[in-house]
């Protein structure tokens, strides 16, 4: 069996025009993706941090969007298994990028590789704003300790304390940004991820005034913390190929749900009802040391992505056939990705793999 063919098949589907499309509000099932669903839409993806800061001063002070300054950038966390955050972020962003492009979206990246410099936080925010994206997504993973921290785990979305001094940024983040963040949170919960249990996170949302990106970005922004790299279970998922695939499926689902069903209306009544966040001393752009708190009110997406997949029995039979080959590649957790929303995507992935396998010949 050609080992490269399996990996090529994996890349071809997560990324092929098979990602689930949120159904319109009706009894009709969603149509199979045609590759044009997101035509005319732009998504800005920011895989957090960078491979190298050589020649750059991470401590250089830049605008924080609130009249103060903060460090240009941080190096990011390293998972318990020794994988740097910038690589995890990069891998997930590439899966998301290919998926969105297969649906016709234009995708703009904040950095072009995982080896060089990625830019200061204000530069990335400026690039997102200048892209005129329909939505920007900053992809990160968190950490709470230098070593293992068994008690803290889970994902969360960072949302900015409102109002933001810049009127355009405030309009973007109080409207579409907040709505998209809640839709992303809902996608994470629906796919079985558990909201973080630390740093004032409330139902998957954490309000902070010390993160510059959202305060400087003039298009709707979702700031994703996929999990805690200091937690053994979270770290293992962040490091693994199938774990990164699961995050990519969820992030893509959240983006597509917002692009196809989001209203971009500013939920002023929600903001007025929410208690003000309390701000602690400034923390790093991607640190969990902030203890700001909020009690945001959840919103429900207007539509729920539905599957157009073969039935579960057909999928199970296919997965049984593929299991030995997938295990060779360390992809033995694909069954865990299946739920009523993403069965079609994972089934198409398995079908693509089967086609590659049967046509690849020996070796």
User: What distance in Å separates the CA atoms of residue 44 and residue 293, rounded to the nearest whole number?
Assistant: 28
Residues in the chain: 363
- 269 counts as catalytic: no
Q: Rounded to 5 degrees, what are φ and ψ at 137?
A: -130, 120
Shortest CA distance to 115 belongs to which of 81, 143, 79, 90?
A: 90
Contact 159, 207 (CB under 8 A): yes
Question: Using omega within 30 degrees of 0 as the cis cutoff, is the peptide bond preceding 255 cis?
Answer: no
Q: CA 122, 125, 130 angle in degrees (round to 5)?
A: 125
The catalytically annotated residue of 37, 179, 225, 239 is: 225
User: What distance in Å separates the CA atoms of residue 362 and residue 77, rounded to the nearest whole number?
Assistant: 41
Q: Rounded to 5 degrees, what are φ and ψ at 293?
A: -130, 160
What value does the CA radius of gyration of the chain take, rounded to a whole number of Å?
A: 20
User: What distance in Å separates the CA atoms of residue 316 and residue 57, rounded to the nearest whole number?
Assistant: 52
CA atoms within 13 A of residue 249's CA, in its CB half-sphere? 33
Contact 129, 110 (CB under 8 A): no
What's the token pair of residue 340?
């009523």
Catalytic machinery residues: 225
């Amino acid at each position: 069996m050609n080992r490269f063919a399996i990996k090529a098949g994996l890349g071809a589907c997560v990324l092929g025009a098979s990602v689930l499309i949120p159904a319109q509000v009706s009894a009709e099932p969603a149509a199979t993706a045609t590759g044009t669903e997101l035509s005319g839409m732009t998504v800005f993806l920011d895989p957090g941090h960078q491979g190298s800061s050589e020649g750059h001063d991470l401590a250089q002070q830049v605008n924080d969007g609130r009249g103060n300054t903060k460090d240009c950038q941080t190096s990011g966390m390293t998972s318990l298994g020794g994988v740097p955050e910038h690589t995890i972020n990069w891998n997930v962003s590439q899966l998301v990028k290919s998926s969105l492009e297969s649906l016709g979206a234009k995708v703009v990246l904040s950095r072009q590789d995982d080896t060089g410099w990625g830019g200061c936080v204000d530069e990335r925010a400026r690039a997102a704003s200048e892209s005129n994206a329909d939505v920007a997504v900053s992809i990160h993973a968190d950490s709470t300790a230098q070593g293992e921290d068994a008690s803290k785990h889970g994902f969360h979305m960072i949302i900015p304390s409102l109002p933001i001094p810049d009127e355009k940024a405030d309009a973007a983040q109080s409207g579409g940004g907040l709505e998209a963040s809640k839709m992303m949170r809902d996608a994470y919960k629906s796919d079985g991820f558990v909201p973080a249990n630390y740093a004032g996170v409330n139902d998957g949302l954490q309000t902070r005034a010390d993160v510059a990106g959202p305060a400087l970005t003039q298009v709707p922004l979702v700031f994703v913390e996929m999990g805690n790299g200091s937690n053994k279970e979270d770290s293992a998922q962040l490091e693994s190929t199938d774990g990164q695939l699961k995050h990519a499926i969820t992030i893509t689902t959240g983006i597509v749900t917002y692009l196809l069903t989001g209203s971009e209306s500013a939920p002023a009544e929600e903001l007025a009802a929410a208690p003000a966040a309390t701000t602690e001393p400034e923390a790093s752009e991607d640190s969990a040391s902030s203890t700001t708190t909020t009690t945001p009110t959840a919103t429900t997406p207007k539509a729920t992505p539905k599957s157009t997949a073969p039935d579960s029995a057909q999928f199970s039979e296919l997965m049984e056939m593929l299991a030995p080959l997938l295990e060779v590649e360390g992809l033995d957790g694909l069954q865990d990705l299946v739920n009523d929303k993403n069965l079609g995507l994972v089934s198409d992935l398995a079908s693509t793999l089967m086609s590659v396998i049967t046509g690849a010949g020996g070796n």
